Amino acid sequence: MRPLLGIVSCFWLLLVIPPAVWAEPTKTFQTKYATIHYAEEKDIDDFIWRLGGQKREFVSAPEMASYRIDRLVDRVQAILDMWPRNFRITVYLHRGALTAQKVAYYEKETKIIHVAVDYMSDGVLAHEIAHADIEQYFPTPPPSKMQEILAQYVDQHLWNDY
């Protein structure tokens, strides 16, 4: 009976640990506002493509990647009219869904944004950047429901004036 129990335990472990955590990001990329952690060049290539709509290899255009990320941060801060001092974000790129319900989330305890590259968009990332911006702007951040309303506002109005 014990060997069967071990197999069942392993099966449940596979269901509990999301696939996105299996490939650990080992590479980093720095921009003015962000440190991006990723496992493979394809991850950063797809991430940048989903932010700007153009397929390019990161290796050949790192300045374009930096511009797209930092422009998104600037846009979020302009919409919220919140400009925290020394604003920095850390982003971890993952393959596959993060959980059954989330394609991205902001961990306020660690101040890290986790993103599923396969499902993200500029709106999704802007939403999570808004959470980071709000947390870093206020000495005592507002309640989570209010933060969610502001983050949804950013997502809805991201490119309205363009």
Domain-embedded: residue 88: yes
Residue 12 lies in a domain: no
Say if 98 falls within a structural domain: yes
Q: How far is 42 from 38, CA to CA, in rounded Å?
A: 9
Judged against a pLDDT cut of 90, whether residue 66 lies above it is answered with no
Residue with tokens 């991006």: 36
Say what the pLDDT of residue 15 is. 41
Between 37 and 155, whose confidence is greater? Answer: 37
Token pair, residue 40, equals: 């493979």
80 part of a folded domain: yes
Residue 51 pLDDT greater than 50, yes or no:
yes
The CATH number covering residue 152 comes to: 3.40.30
| pLDDT, tens only, 107-138 | 988 989 999 998 888 999 999 999 999 999 99
pTM for this model (two decimals): 0.80
- For the cut 70, the answer to whether the pLDDT of residue 30 exceeds it is yes
Residue 59, CA distances (Å) to 13, 40, 56, 63, 114 in order: 36, 12, 9, 10, 22
**Does a structural domain hold residue 84?**
yes
Q: H or E element: which one contains 72?
A: helix 62-80
Count structural domains, the chain.
1
Which has the higher per-residue pLDDT, 101 or 138? 138
pLDDT band at 60 (very low <50, low <70, confident <90, very high): low
Q: Which residue has the tokens 């001092």?
A: 85
Single-letter amino acid code for the residue at 24: E
Q: What is the mean pLDDT of residues 1-17?
A: 42
Q: Which residue has the higher pLDDT, 100 or 120?
A: 120
CA distance linking residue 74 with residue 11, whole number of Å: 44
* Domain span holding position 79: 20-157
pLDDT score for 9: 39
- Phi, psi for 82 (deg, rounded to 5): -130, 120
Tokens at residue 116, please? Answer: 């599923």
Phi-psi category of residue 111: left, alpha or beta, with phi > 0 → left and psi -120 to 50 → alpha: left
Domain assignment present for 13: no
